[in-house]
Amino acid sequence: MTTLITGATSGIGESLAMLYADNDEQVIACGRNSEKLAKLSQHQNIESCHFDATDIQDIRSSTVAYKEFDRVILNAGNCEYIDDARNFDSSLFERVITTNLLSMGYCLEALLPKIKPGGQLVIVSSSVTYLPLPRSQAYGASKAGVSYLANSLAVDLKDIDVTLVHPGFVKTPLTDKNDFPMPMAVSAEKAANYIYKGVAKRRKEVHFPHRFTFILKFLRMLPTPLWLKLAKGLSR
């Protein structure tokens, strides 16, 4: 089995690459950090592939030699927050949308035709999509687009199974920059285990940690005015 993973040089992607490789699968670890890719490729089951997921030509040229994959995990992404919604930062918004959403389209164009019939496409979104949260205009919008994209692909792809991943808070170098509490946060290794097991069962959605995501799913059933009142309290 061959699994290609984007965003494999840090956090969840790196942990997934090691987990699949340790379970005797061939892994193509993709990312922009050459130093981390070189370290990962020291594992006998990992081959590195350097490209920028926001550059379609770079993706095409870097993956042209690969003929087919059993599984593609699109995990690359970034997180930035809009601190002052009244003075909206369109440059930040564009940057996040490009990194998290447009890059998915570029990767799909280059990689989706190479997934074997009966193979799997795994798309990593975020549990932020369950509810509108403070400062999340850019990140939440990008991930909402990712989730809709994955669910729509699941309708149209007849010979490929699509799994959509909605993680809660995960302790990674990216989230280390957060300046707010992260309730029920899990390690990148534990997140990778949740995903690995869910993908093995070909689940349509993988969400975790379950206690946290079930709370969010319950809260989204509240009337919108009530949730907005609660959310405004969180943003103070």
pLDDT by residue (tens digit) across 147-169?
Answer: 999 999 999 999 999 999 999 98
pLDDT of residue 233: 72
Name the nearest CA neighbour of 102 among 53, 151, 63: 53
- The model's pTM is 0.93
* pLDDT tier, 226 (very low <50, low <70, confident <90, very high otherwise): confident
**Which sign does the torsion angle of CA 201, 207, 211, 213 carry?**
negative
Parallel, antiparallel or unpaired: strands 69-74 and 161-167: unpaired
Domains and CATH numbers, the chain: 2-232 (3.40.50.720)
- Residue-wise pLDDT for 190-217, tens only, equals 999 999 999 999 999 999 999 999 999 9
Question: Residue 115: how many CA atoms within 13 Å on its side-chain side?
Answer: 24
pLDDT of residue 61: 98
- Residue-wise pLDDT for 85-111, tens only, equals 999 999 999 999 999 999 999 999 999
